[in-house]
Structures are given as C-alpha cells and as structure tokens.
Structure 1
C-alpha cells in the first residue's frame, strides 16, 4: 500500500480508503469485522464514515467502533457532521452548538477519545464559516479532533473557508471530500484547482459510479443476480441512462493494458492532481483487496493523456 500526506497536513492516509455508508444497511457486524481484517491485511488505513451513515442515525459509526476495539490506533478514522435530516431538523448543521453536540455523539458511537479527521458534511446556507471554524478549532484544541476537513464544497467555498481560517487563526481544512470519478470530472473545474492553491487533499467519493466502473454491468444486459442494481428495481433506469460509450471506451483502454475496468477507475483517479485517497464504498473484504490491488498499476504521463482523451476531460 502507498500512503500520502493529506494536503499540507502531517496526517498520512492510505491511497485507497473505505466508505462505510452500507454498514448496517447491507453489511452486518460480522461483515464489518471481515472488512476491517482485509483492510489490515492490505494496509488500508483510512476509514470514512458519517453520523448519518447506516440504516439509522449513527449506525455505521457504532459498527465501526465495535470493530476497531483493540486496534483503534492502526486506522485513521474520519467522520462527518452536519448532513442528513437530523442536521436539517436540529441545525443549522454548521452552528457552534450543533458541532459541539454532534462530536460528542460520534465519539461515543466510535468508542474513541478522538477523531482523526472531522469533516463538515454539507455546508448549510445560514451559518457563516467563522462560526463553524471557530467551533472546530476548539475541538482540535481540546484534543477531541486531530484534523478538520469539508465535504461537498464548491471551489469558492473552499477558498472562503481557507481565507477565513487563516485570517482568524483557526484550524484550516486539510481536505475536501467531493464526488469525483473518471466519468464525473466536474470537480476539476473548481475544486481541484482550489485544493492545489490552498493545500487541501482531495478525497473522491463514488469513484466507481455506483458500480458502473466495476465491470459487472454491461450495456443492454440485465444486472447480475445479487448485485446492487438487481436488488434495487429503481436502478434499472440508472443503468439504462448510463454513459455506455465512455464506459466501454474505458473498458477497452483497460483491456489494452491487461487491466480490469476497476483497476483503471481506482488507479487512474488516484493519479490525478490533489487526490490523497480514493474512498470507495465496500460491502465485502474482497472488494477492499481488489481496490488496494488496483494501485499496482502506476500510469505513465502518456497513459494519463490517453485517459483524458477517453473520458473527455476538459470538454
């Protein structure tokens, strides 16, 4: 496994991370234990969750807390606050009182005395960045949080938060977690340049585009039995509307290099500017191993140029 610094911070993370939204939805406690064991085996250290992940509020955090007992220090635990219905009902999600209340809940559920990376899940449209950053700064000072990051921020919001933190002397965001994949490269318009300008590490989520870049789905074919698309009838439209031309072009690109589509999706994204770790949701340990194994491919500059051409980057 390869490790990178998270932005300009001193926090090192594995270049692939584990997304845990399915924990308690499609993964039971034994499954979570198996995923964590696989992560240890291949050197994956970054575990990403949120207080809204799971079948009920906090369920994913609770399962992670149980699974990490006795091995907490071997992992970088990242969670989030300010997202979902609870924040809408009891927020604003970026307010001082909400941040302080939310972190206590996450610490309890995760069974830990500190959170390695605490991320502002979705910016609310009410609370000024000064208030949120001040609250987060106090959490770092208290030792309850080591580093702070943001998620689902636009480029201008990244810039504004960084300027605010520097001006006021608050802890700066060291990362931004946004949707980003070889099929959806919108983050390259503003967010990637903002990360490079202000020293934030980018943590892409949905790198496999709900499984479209795993290679298990094909144009005009029924979803494989047991797959997420087969289990959820609402995804039939999603499969029908997929950009199959680009997916098939990526598959051909991978085949030419004796790689899988998943290999290219993970390693190709990890090679993009500002990316610190690619966060992919998993439901089984073998998926963790496959994501980690994808990094054996180290694309050359020529590979990346062709990859841009195949995916239509910048067009």
Structure 2
C-alpha cells in the first residue's frame, strides 16, 4: 500500500471512514472490517466524536486493541448535536472533547485532530491556541480542519502564532462528480502545502455502479430514497455516471476503480477515505485504487463530466 504525508504522519493512500461503526455496524462487525483493513494494508482510520454518538470511536479503539501503534487515527470534534450551535471550537469545548475522544478510543494520543465544521462564533486564533496546547501536551500529533473554504483557510493561516501548531490537512467533499474544491480550495492548499482528505469519494454510492438509468434503486441502498437520493441521484448525475460507465468498460475497468484512482491521481490528495460495512467492501476499495490513469484518461473524464 502506497503511503502519503499528512504533516508528519504517514497515511495509507486508501483509508477507512468509520462513520458506519456504532450505527450500521455493531462491535463485532466493526472488528471484522477493521481486521480486514489492517490485513489489506490500510493504516489510516478516520472517525469523529459525532459518529454513532461516540460509539464509532469506542468500537474502533476496541477493534484496534494492541495494534493501535500500527495505525494513524484521525478523529473530529466540534459538530456534536448536543452542543450549542456555533460553539464547538471554543477552547473549553475542545479541552472537553479531546478527553472524551481519548477515553473512547482507548489511547493516550490522537494522530490527527480535526475541526469538523467551521465555528463562526469563535475566533480562529482561540481555536488554534487550544489545539496548540494539546499538541504541546502530547495529546495530539497534528491538527486539521473539515468543510473549510479558501477564505477560511487564509484566515486560519493568518491566525497561527510563530512556532505554533497549524492545520496540515483539509477534509472536504470531493469526487469525480463534485468538483467544488478545484477553483479555490485546492489552489490555496497547494500554496500552503496542505493535504486533502476527500470525503464522499463514491458520491454516497452513486459511483459504485448500483444505479442505472431507468432502473429501480436497490432496496435498502443509501440512494433508494430520501434526502441523499434527492441530492446525489439527480437526472444529470445519473446521466454523467452512465457516460463514465461506458468509458471505464471500454478500458476494462469499473466505476469503483475510476472513483478511487481518479482521486489518487489528484494533486494534494493524501488518503481516500471511504466507509465499508463488510470485509468484501474493504478489499474492493483497496483494489480499486490501482488504476494509473493517464493524462488522456483524465482529460476524457473531464470532458464527459462537463458534457
């Protein structure tokens, strides 16, 4: 498994998103997925205090056990549903949140601690100061953010004191269909040497190949109905995916391979974090990152998306 840098950390280029733990998966099923991920070479595990109302962190820590030192654990704070709106990045909230995450994960340090969403009510300098304290105390190795705009990244960079910890990563939505970070966020990340951790790499399942024009969505699938279906399984997106189907099949590949390998080929991407609910999905995700897309392949994909 190829590894890439996130600050001082080395992360597997395919990571595991742990949002299913404690929600779709119980502790036993979580252990199966984690064991398979480790066997497949995955060393980057991304969770959050809000996933499974804390059970994701708990189940992940329990599944890793004595193997904790072999992996990079990334978790997120600042988006708890029981916290006052816009108050998740206050220094006192951060100090409480990190202790909860450490306890649930069963570890004495978090490798990458990320602000889950921007907090407009708290000066970013205050947030950075509290995070720097955690780094100096050895409770956190590196810090990052999620769902930040280019303007917010610039504001953050300006708020870092000399010698203090600074964000090394950004976790934003990014995939072959969703290109919003490209005009502003990615250039800002390149300028400041930040690593990108794309979430929704499969467009919530649209890029798995399950959804075809004129066919009923598989029963129980994420995009069978509801808000996610309304957002992702639009007529325009389904048409784009069908065009990508024809493209990958003409080259002897699959949509899943395109989704992962396209991200691996993008500048600044450090680890592609996709969730999994079974050992089979874990192995498929790892295998999917092996297609080395040429410049011509990438140009044809862009043309199909823009058509």
TM-score bracket relative to the smaller structure: over 0.9
Cα deviation digits, residues 93-136 of structure 1 (max 9, x gap): 11100000100000000000000000000011111111000000
- Distance (whole Å) between structure 1 residues aligned to residue 84 and residue 42 of structure 2: 33
- 2:4 aligns with 4
1:115: which partner in 2?
A: 110
User: Conserved in 1, the CA contact under 8 Å of 2:114 and 2:145?
Assistant: yes
Distance in 1 (CA, whole Å) between partners of 2:215 and 2:221 is 13
Q: What TM-score do the two structures reach when normalised by structure 1? A: 0.93
| 2:200 is aligned with 1:206 | yes
**Deviation at 1:304?**
1.5
Normalised TM-score (structure 2): 0.95
Q: How far has the Cα of 1:163 moved from its partner?
A: 2.4
Q: 1:223 to 1:14 in 2, by over 3 A?
A: same
Q: Which segments of 5 or more consecutive residues in structure 1 lack a partner in the other structure?
A: none
Question: Match for residue 69 of structure 1?
Answer: 65
Q: Which moved more, 1:221-230 or 1:24-33?
A: 221-230
String of CA shifts for 1:178-200, please: whole Å, max 9, x gaps. 00011100011211111101010
Partner SS for 1:26: coil
Whole-Å Cα distance in 1 between the matches of residues 227 and 173 of structure 2? 21
Q: What CA deviation, in whole Å up to 9, does each residue of 1:15-66 have, x standing for no partner?
A: 1111111212111111111111111111011100000011xx2111111111
| Cα distance in 2, alignment partners of residues 204 and 292 from structure 1 | 16
Change over 3 Å in CA distance of 1:27–1:241 after alignment to 2: farther
Could you say which residue in structure 1 is the equivalent of 2:74?
A: 78
State the number of aligned residues: 306
**Shift, 1:227, TM fit:** 2.7
The whole-number CA distance in structure 2 between the counterparts of 1:88 and 1:17 is: 31
Deviation beyond 3 Å, 4+ runs, structure 1: 232-242
SS at match of 2:213: coil
Cα offsets for 1:248-296 (capped at 9, x unmatched): 1111111111111010011111111111111112111211111110121
Distance in 2 of aligned mates of 1:102 and 1:133:
15
- 1:192 aligned residue: 186
- Partner-residue secondary structure (3-state), 1:186: coil
In structure 2, the residue matched to 1:59 is 55
Matches within 5 A, 1:1-315: 1-6=1-6, 9-54=7-52, 57-88=53-84, 92-165=87-160, 167-230=161-224, 237-238=230-231, 239=233, 241=235, 243-312=237-306
- Check the 8 A contact 2:213/2:239 in 1, yes or no: no
Cα distance in structure 1, aligned partners of 2:185 and 2:51: 24
Tell me, in whole angstroms, the C-alpha distance in 2 between the residues paired with 1:295 and 1:235: 25
Please tell me the root mean square deviation across aligned C-alpha atoms, in Å.
1.7
**Change over 3 Å in CA distance of 1:123–1:233 after alignment to 2:** closer
Distance 2:105 2:285 in 1: 25
